[in-house]
Amino acid sequence: MYRALLFLSRLMAILGGIMLSVLIFLTVFAILGRLLDQLFHWMIEVGFLPGLGRWMIDAGVGPILGTFELIEAGVAFVIFAFLPICQMTGGHATVDIFTSAMSDGTNRILRGITEVVFAAVMVLIAVQLFGGLMTKYNSGQTTLELQLPVWYSYAIGLVGAALAAIVAVYLAVVRFFEMVSGREVLPPDLGAEH
């Protein structure tokens, strides 16, 4: 089970990285489009190569329609796409000033408690996101510029949130078993040193 969830978490992180790259390029092109639009309008206004300025505007060089809507939906997916791998590898930021001096047993208990709390929070987020998805789906609400159904954004975010909730519940069960049994089943943390 661990290997399958780790594979899915890595796959989700790769998809999140691709989406983040697309969003970065979209942002850059949107900013360049707005700047060029201002430049071409200025060219027409002051009479500096007004034909070129008009031709570029007519050719469609300018702001990208719906950039904000696309970025908003994409960022929701990106955030939830990285949560599963972060949870699987213990990559969340931690402050271990006090816990580094505690015994392995005490750290195992703290790890078990935090995993259970994190799992409860992730399940709550996924359930609430599903509720929001159903509300937006039933309302038929669309975005302002692109007229895309709003529930699309919720749906792509829910994919990552659901996987993050599954991973969190799995790790909570394993860490709770470790806490009760006193033996390690999974490595305590695979992530970077904090």
The model scores a pTM over 0.85: no
Please state, in angstroms and rounded to a whole number, the distance separating the CA atoms of residues 156 and 71.
13
Cβ-count burial 150-189 (b if 16+ within 10 Å, e if not): bbbbbbbbbebbbbbbbbbbbbbbbbbebbeeeeeebeee
Q: Is the Cβ–Cβ distance between 87 and 111 less than 8 Å? A: no
pLDDT at residue number 188? 62
> Higher-confidence residue: 192 or 62?
62
Please state, in angstroms and rounded to a whole number, the distance separating the CA atoms of residues 43 and 55.
11
The residue type of 173 is V
Nearest CA-CA partner of 117 in 171, 161, 78: 171
pLDDT at residue number 192? 44
Please state, in angstroms and rounded to a whole number, the distance separating the CA atoms of residues 78 and 83.
9
* pLDDT band at residue 164 under the 50/70/90 scheme: very high
The mean pLDDT of 141-167, rounded to a whole number, is: 93
pLDDT at residue number 190? 54
* pLDDT band at residue 178 under the 50/70/90 scheme: confident
pLDDT at residue number 194? 40
The residue type of 88 is M
> Higher-confidence residue: 180 or 38?
38
The mean pLDDT of 128-136, rounded to a whole number, is: 96
- CA-CA-CA-CA dihedral for 130, 67, 85, 165, to nearest 10: -10
pLDDT > 70? residue 189: no
pLDDT at residue number 141? 94
pLDDT at residue number 193? 46
pLDDT at residue number 87? 87
**Neighbour count for residue 87 (Cβ, 10 Å):** 25
